[in-house]
Amino acid sequence: MKNTRLIFPILASTLIANAATVYAGETDLASPDGRTVFAIWCNDGVPLYSISLGDREFIAPSPLGLRTNIGDFTSGLALKSVSAIDSISESYTLPNIKKSSVEYRATHREYTFADSIGEVFDLIVEVSNNNVAYRYRLKPRGETLCCLVESEATGFAMPEGTTTFLCPQSKPMGGFARTSPSYETAYTPDGAIGQNGWGSGYSFPCLFRNGDNGWTLISETGIAGDYCASHLEGGKGSLYTIAYPQPGEQNGFGSASASIALPGYTPWRTITVGETLAPIAETTIPFDVVHPLYEPSRQYQYGKGTWSWIIKMDPSCNYDEQKRYIDFAAEMGYSSVLVDALWDTQIGYDKIAELARYGKERGVALYLWYNSNGSWNDAPQGPRGRMNDIVARRREMKWLQQNGIRGIKVDFFGGDKQETMRLYHDILADANDYGILVIFHGCTLPRGWDRMYPNFASAEAVLASENLHFSQGSCDAEAFNATVHPLVRNTVGSMDFGGSALNKYYNASNESRGSRRATSDVFALATAVLFQSPVQHFALAPNNLNDAPDWAIEFMKSVPTVWSDTRFIDGYPGRYLIMERRHDDICYITGVNATDKTIKTYIDIPSELRGQTLTLYHDTDQLEGSVKTVKPDKKGRVHVSIPCNGAFVLTNRPD
C-alpha cells in the first residue's frame, strides 16, 4: 500500500496574549484552493467556529467543547495559542473505495484552549478543498492521565433556509429480537430543520441542503474501539449537536461515555461542503485523515458472489441449495457464495467443510454468517457465541482458515457504545491474523474502516435489500432510495446492500406472490454500479440464467466491484441520480429515476471516449429493457431517456 505523507509549515504560529487583540481572520484555516475556510474564536469563554465556501456560510457560528469527569470544558475557556499552518500532501492507494488512488492536499492547524487552571484541549483541524475535519486532543491535568468524556457541546448550526436529508437513530432494544439500533431507517427528503427524528436524533452521515447555496454532509471517522460512536441530535432550532450512545443500548450494559487515556483523542468529525453535490459524492475525507492500523496478513481478494438467502430465505440454507449456488456462482464467473444464518444447524460444520472443498474445485470460496452476540439482543440465529469472546473467536477463525473460508458476515451488533466499537475492532484484528475478510451487518456506520482495517470488506448500516423481500413498500421506494444512498450512506464507506435482483418476485419460484420488484432490469444493472462495495453478493438466482435477458446476465458477469474513480454528473437525492464510475479504462455512466416523469437528457461523453462505440442499456416507458450501441453526436453527447423506476447504463466496455 503506497503511503507518503509530507508535512511542512507555511505560516508562523500565533501566540494570543489577549483574545481582544485577535483580528478577524488571523486564526482562520483555508483550504489549498482558498475557498473552504474554517474560522474559530472564543465568545465570553465559549469556543465557536464556522465554515464558509466561497463567500457563503455553510456552518453558522457553532459551539465546541467537551464535558468530562475532570472538568467541564465547554465554557470559561480562552483560545491560548494557535499553531503554524502546515501543508499536508499525501498520496495513497486504496482499491476498495470509490477511488483507488487518492491525492490528499490539506492545511493543518492546531488551536489550544485553556481554562483558569491550564490548557484543556487542542482542536486539531485539517481543511482540504470542500472538506473540514477536526478532532480534540484532551490534555493531562496534573497527575490525571485518564478521563471519561461524558458529552460534547460540539455543534453544527445550519444557515437559514436549510432542509434536511436524514434518517432517524432508532431507539435501543427494539425491532426484530431487540436488535436495534441497527441503522436501518428511512430518509426523509427536504425535511424541516429543528426536528429530532424519533426522539433520539439522526444516524451519520447527515446531509443538509443549504437552500440555493449548496449542500453539507456531516459525518465521523477514525474510531478503532478507542471511543464510542456518536450521532446527531436535533430539536434545537437550527443547531445539531454531537450525541453519544443511548444508555439503553447493549441492554443497558456498558457506559454511554468515552473512556480515554490522556493525552487522548476524540474521533474526527467531518464536514463536506459543496455548491453542487459533486464534492459530497466524490469526497474521500473519511479515509484521508485515518491510516491503516496493521499490515494485511495476505492479499485479500474482493469480487462478486451469489447469495441464496435474499430470495429464498432461511430454508435455502441447506447443503443441496448452497451447492447449487456454488454452481451458479461458477457459471457466472463469480468467486464466492455467501452462506447465511443457521448453517451451523441446517448444514453443520463437517458438511460446510465439504462444500468449501467443492467450491474450491470450481473457483468459488465461501463467506459464512455469524451472530455477533453475546448478551445484547435476542436474535436466535446461529452460530451464536463465537464472535463475542476472544478464545472462541480465534478457535473458530482457525477452523475457517483451515477450511479456506474467504470471509465472515457478522450480524446483530448492539449499538454505538465504546464496548461495541471495541468488538468490531477486535473481530477485524483477529480475522486478519487468520486471513479472513469481514462484512458487518446489523451494524453501525463504518468510520474510516475501509482504510484502517485491510481486511474490512463492507458493512450494511442501511435499509438494505432484505427489506425489498420483506415489504412491497420497500420495493415501491427502491428507486427513491437508490437516488439517496450514493450521496449519503455510501459516500462515506462501502455499503453491503445485496441488491441487483433480476427476479420479478422475491420468492424461490419467481411466481406472482410476495414482494414484486417495481424497478426495471436495467435498474438492477445500474445499482450494481451505483452501490459501491468491493465485495458484492448480488440478489441473483439460478433461475435468472433462463428467465432474465441474456444482456442482463452478461452485464452482471462482467461488472467490476472495485473502482479507479467516481464522478457525480447530476441528480437530487430522492428524485434522480446520474453518476460515473471507472474501472481503469472502462467507464460506466449510469442514471436512475424516482420521479413520476420520464427524464430525457443529454450525457456529455468524456472526450477520450467520444471516438469509441458505446453500449447503452436503456428502458422504454413501460420498463422494457434492451441494449444497443451508440455513437456520441457532433457535440460529444448521447441522448438518454430514464423512465420512473427505470435506468440507463452507458459503457465503453464491449457488449
What part of residues 111-150 is at the interface with Ca ion (CB under 5 A)?
none
**Cβ(216)–Cβ(283) below 8 Å:** no
Q: Considering only 434-442, 479-487, 518-526, 583-591, which stretch makes contact with Ca ion by CB under 5 A?
A: 434-442
What part of residues 315-334 is at the interface with Ca ion (CB under 5 A)?
none
Q: Which is closer to Ca ion, CB of 180 or CB of 241? A: 180
Site track for Ca ion across 336-375, x = CB under 5 A: ----------------------------------------
Look up residue 225 and give its three cell numbers: 474501539
Question: What is the smallest separation between the CB atom of 413 and Ca ion, expressed in angstroms?
Answer: 10
Amino acid letter at 518?
A: A
Q: Which is closer to Ca ion, CB of 441 or CB of 489? A: 441
Site track for Ca ion across 294-313, x = CB under 5 A: --------------------
Q: Which is closer to Ca ion, CB of 154 or CB of 381? A: 381
Question: What is the smallest separation between the CB atom of 464 and Ca ion, expressed in angstroms?
Answer: 6
User: Rounded to an integer, what distance in angstroms lies between the CA atom of residue 430 and that of residue 437?
Assistant: 10
Binding-site size, Ca ion (CB under 5 A) = 2
**Cβ(502)–Cβ(540) below 8 Å:** yes
**Cβ(469)–Cβ(442) below 8 Å:** no
Question: What is the smallest separation between the CB atom of 185 and Ca ion, expressed in angstroms?
Answer: 12
Sign, CA dihedral 418-421-423-429, equals: negative
Identify the CA nearest to 461 among candidates 488, 437, 501.
488
Question: What is the smallest separation between the CB atom of 545 and Ca ion, expressed in angstroms?
Answer: 28
**H-assigned helices in 333-366:** 343-346, 349-361
Q: Which is closer to Ca ion, CB of 441 or CB of 581? A: 441
Q: Which is closer to Ca ion, CB of 81 or CB of 185? A: 185
User: Rounded to an integer, what distance in angstroms lies between the CA atom of residue 251 and that of residue 245?
Assistant: 12
Question: What is the smallest separation between the CB atom of 115 and Ca ion, expressed in angstroms?
Answer: 45
Q: Which is closer to Ca ion, CB of 127 or CB of 461? A: 461
Q: Considering only 245-253, 284-292, 337-345, 433-441, which stretch makes contact with Ca ion by CB under 5 A?
A: 433-441
Q: Which is closer to Ca ion, CB of 359 or CB of 442? A: 442
Q: Which is closer to Ca ion, CB of 124 or CB of 341? A: 341
Q: Which is closer to Ca ion, CB of 274 or CB of 498? A: 498
Question: What is the smallest separation between the CB atom of 310 and Ca ion, expressed in angstroms?
Answer: 11
User: Rounded to an integer, what distance in angstroms lies between the CA atom of residue 180 and that of residue 483?
Assistant: 25
What part of residues 233-262 is at the interface with Ca ion (CB under 5 A)?
none
Site track for Ca ion across 436-455, x = CB under 5 A: -----xx-------------
Burial of 23 (0-12, 13-18, 19+ CB in 10 A): exposed
Q: Which is closer to Ca ion, CB of 308 or CB of 520? A: 308
User: Rounded to an integer, what distance in angstroms lies between the CA atom of residue 64 and that of residue 125?
Assistant: 13
Q: Which is closer to Ca ion, CB of 441 or CB of 537? A: 441
Question: What is the smallest separation between the CB atom of 368 and Ca ion, expressed in angstroms?
Answer: 17
Identify the CA nearest to 298 among candidates 202, 432, 185.
432
Question: What is the smallest separation between the CB atom of 452 and Ca ion, expressed in angstroms?
Answer: 23
Amino acid letter at 413?
A: F
Question: What is the smallest separation between the CB atom of 481 and Ca ion, expressed in angstroms?
Answer: 14
Amino acid letter at 282?
A: E
Identify the CA nearest to 272 among candidates 153, 391, 392, 129.
129
Burial of 117 (0-12, 13-18, 19+ CB in 10 A): exposed
With cell 501566540, the residue in question is 15
Question: What is the smallest separation between the CB atom of 531 and Ca ion, expressed in angstroms?
Answer: 15
User: Rounded to an integer, what distance in angstroms lies between the CA atom of residue 609 and that of residue 592?
Assistant: 22
| DSSP one-letter string for 92-123 | EE-TTSS-SEEEEEEEEEEEEEE-SSSEEEEE
Helix 390-402 × helix 418-433 angle, to 10°: 30
**Cβ(630)–Cβ(618) below 8 Å:** no
Question: What is the smallest separation between the CB atom of 610 and Ca ion, expressed in angstroms?
Answer: 43
Give me the residues that bind Ca ion (CB under 5 A), please.
Answer: 441-442
